[in-house]
Amino acid sequence: MENFSRYWKRTFWKDEKGMGVIEVVLIILVLVGLALVFKNQISGVADGVYKSIKTQIKSF
């Protein structure tokens, strides 16, 4: 039983089968967190771009 426990621990730390998925999930979590932190700044920039486009369209 002790050999199985050692084998399992050793193979668990060396196994990298799901690492790509975990990395993508962590990147998405970081991006969502940054979007939540900078929500007001992002919406301000988006509003400014929208107003700029709207005024340029009206000038045609």
CA distances from 20 to 25, 30, 32, 44 (A): 9, 16, 18, 34
pLDDT score recorded for residue 26? 96
The whole domain housing 49 covers 2-59
Asked if 42 contacts 35 with a C-beta cutoff of 8 angstroms, the reply is yes
Amino acid sitting at position 30: V
Please state the rounded mean pLDDT for residues 50-57.
Answer: 94
Asked if the model's pLDDT at residue 51 lies above 80, the reply is yes
pLDDT in tens, 4-44: 788 777 777 777 777 788 899 999 999 999 999 999 999 99
Query: How far is residue 34's CA from residue 16's CA, in Å, rounded to a whole number?
Result: 28
Number of domains comprising the chain: 1
